[in-house]
Amino acid sequence: MLIKLLKAKIHNATVTMTDANYHGSITIDRDLLAASGLLPNEAVLVADCENGNRFETYIIPGDRGSGIIGINGAAARLSHAGNRVIIMAFTLVDPSEIEGHTTRTVIVNAQNKATEILNLPTVS
């Protein structure tokens, strides 16, 4: 049996642009990807803090230092520039791995720059 746990999240990021005509995905500044450990093409769940919408998509890396959080494709209709979002990725672990598991949380400011990085253990 595998258990689904939070791998990493970017907390309180500000959507900088939306593009409904793009072929899909979320564009994330490469600096935030490095800080969070998230990868290009990795599946993520995005929760919009302003309207409660949640959607799953995959990551496209954006320009380093740009602060971009771009919602693309059909998901662009579920969020708006200026909205705050939480971007989450999950992992499946064997019960024997739970004790050593940690979740990386990157807290960002209004310009989408990391202000705090937390490594939170699943078991305390």
DSSP codes of every residue in 4-67: EEEEEEEEEEEP-EEETTSSSEEEEEHHHHHHHT--TT-EEEEEETTT--EEEEEEEEE-TTS-
φ, ψ of residue 51 to 5 degrees: the values are -125, -5
Place of tokens 């979320």: 26
Q: Would residue 22 show up in a list of annotated catalytic residues for this protein?
A: no
**Degrees to nearest 5, angle at CA 65 with 63 and 66:** 60
Catalytic hit among 58, 66, 96, 124: 58
Given 25, 66, 79, 124, the catalytic residue: 25
Catalytic residue ranges: 25, 58
